[in-house]
């Protein structure tokens, strides 16, 4: 009986040692896999995470050199304001929206003048003498009609003369003041109309 007990004890201790060694080797293998790279026949193994109980967050540290700096440049809204206004009335001047702003800046007058006068004089070029491209009533007296080659030609030729003749250096003139030389016979309706179109474009 005692001999049998001793045999069982020896077997138990032997099995316990085997189990302990297996667990130890398993832990070592796991530790090596999770903490350091190993090589197998010259092939590099990737790091392996074995603890799924803890949340893992991957995040790159911020770097000043990698920060993206953006600059917001406010675009000139005037050409788009003019384009939408001309489009609303189906004006053939719409393709010249950018040019209208460029010329007004070049000759230093309010960008709304050329559009407002064209609206007052011809409904934005919808009612002009045939083949004249003259939307501004420029040099039209009875049967006399000043003609241009196209709308761009008209804009380029009228702009410097407008600031020279009618504004005379005073680029903040009110429509009522310009009316006195632009269309003296008007009873005030010309200036009132231009002022209204100024407001529409503002």
**pLDDT at position 90, please?**
97
Q: Return the minimum-mean-pLDDT range out of 2-6, 37-41, 47-51.
A: 37-41
Measured distance CA(158)–CA(196) in Å, rounded: 22
pLDDT in tens, 107-125: 999 999 999 999 999 999 9
SS3 per residue for 35-89: HCCCEECCEECCCCCCCCCCCCCCCCCCCHHHCCCCCCCCCCCHHHHHHHHHHHC
Fold of 78-201: Lysozyme (1.10.530)
Domain ranges of the chain: 2-59, 78-201
At 2, the pLDDT band (50, 70, 90 cuts) reads: low
The model scores a pTM over 0.75:
no
Which residues have CB under 8 Å from 176's CB, separation 6+?
A: 188, 191, 195
pLDDT tier, 143 (very low <50, low <70, confident <90, very high otherwise): confident
């Amino acid at each position: 009986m005692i001999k049998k007990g001793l045999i069982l004890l020896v077997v138990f201790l032997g099995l316990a040692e085997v189990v302990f060694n297996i667990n130890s080797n398993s832990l070592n293998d796991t530790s090596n896999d999770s903490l350091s790279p190993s090589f197998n026949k010259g092939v590099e193994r990737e790091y392996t995470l074995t603890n799924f109980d803890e949340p893992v967050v991957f995040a790159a540290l911020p770097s000043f050199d990698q920060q993206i700096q953006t600059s917001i440049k406010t675009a000139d809204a005037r050409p788009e304001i003019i384009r939408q206004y001309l489009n609303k009335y189906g004006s053939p001047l719409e393709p010249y929206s950018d040019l209208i702003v460029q010329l007004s800046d070049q000759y230093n007058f309010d960008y709304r003048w050329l559009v407002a006068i064209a609206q007052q004089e011809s409904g934005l070029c919808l009612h002009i003498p045939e083949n004249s491209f003259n939307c501004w009533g420029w040099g039209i007296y009875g049967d006399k009609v000043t003609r241009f080659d196209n709308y761009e030609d008209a804009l380029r030729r009228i702009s410097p003369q407008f600031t020279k003749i009618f504004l005379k250096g005073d680029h903040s003139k009110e429509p009522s003041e310009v009316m006195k030389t632009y269309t003296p016979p008007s009873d005030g309706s010309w200036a009132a109309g231009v002022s209204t179109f100024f407001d529409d474009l503002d």
